[in-house]
Homo-oligomer: A and B are copies of this chain.
Amino acid sequence: MQQPAPPLATIAAALRRERERVGISLAELARRAGLAKSTLSQLEAGAGNPSIETLWSLGVALGVPFSRLVEPPPTQVRVIRAGQGPRLLADKSAYAATLLAAGSAHARRDLYVLELEPSQPREAEAHIPGSVEHLVVAAGRIMVGPAGEQVELGPGDYIAFPGDVPHYYEALEPSWAVLVMEHV
């Protein structure tokens, strides 16, 4: 989901913001991006509906990803102590997830801590297409991966796999891990 809000104003603001961050003039940016000053001027004024190529070249010239130009901004200092924080997905008792950082509109990645007790394998439903799961085991041993491709991991081991196909988690001993869920 994304805000139905027209991105025109957002883009205008983002362009000016990023340009001033880099510390260059409108004319200079236009030059680097290979655009006419007038075009950029109108874009920053909020007038206009730039083509992809135009916005793209601006992103390149500014050294920022594209997405940064069409979405609003982020965060500050926060601490969540072990065991604190919203505990999610604790369906049975063998599997608990604590949400540390929810993906903002443009940083599409959620950060979890996963706690698992030995039990029968947990089958995770497939998530929305394009999602990727990143897992780093902090302690214990876990069998994990897409159906048919499970791998056994120990402390410090890392795995990444598509989240949009059925996959399994199975703790071989009491374990916990850091999960980065990257969606869409």
Q: Which of A1-37 contact B (CB under 8 A)?
A: 1-2, 4, 6-8, 11, 21
A174 at the interface (CB under 8 A from B): no
Pick from B21, B77, B153, B182: contact of A145, CB below 8 A: B77
Q: Which of A134-184 contact B (CB under 8 A)?
A: 134, 136, 138-139, 145-146, 149, 151, 153-162, 176, 178, 180, 182, 184
Minimum CB–CB distance for A16 against chain B, Å: 14
Known: A113-B136, A129-B21. A105 touches B160 (CB 8 A): no
Copies of this chain: 2
Cα A60 to Cα B6 in complex, Å, equals 11
Residue on B with the closest CB to A68?
Answer: B184
Cα A83 to Cα B7 in complex, Å, equals 44
A39 at the interface (CB under 8 A from B): no
Q: Which residues of B contact A74 (CB under 8 A)?
A: 130, 132, 162, 182
A106 at the interface (CB under 8 A from B): yes
Cα A116 to Cα B176 in complex, Å, equals 20
Interface of A is mostly: mixed
Residue on B with the closest CB to A2?
Answer: B65
Contacting pair A63 B1 (CB below 8 A): yes
A85 at the interface (CB under 8 A from B): yes
Q: Which residues of B contact A180 (CB under 8 A)?
A: 101, 109, 111, 180
Cα A184 to Cα B176 in complex, Å, equals 30
21 A-B pairs with CB atoms under 8 Å apart are A2-B59, A2-B65, A6-B56, A7-B56, A21-B129, A56-B70, A65-B105, A66-B67, A66-B70, A67-B67, A68-B130, A76-B160, A81-B157, A82-B154, A100-B134, A100-B136, A100-B158, A106-B108, A111-B158, A113-B136, A138-B155
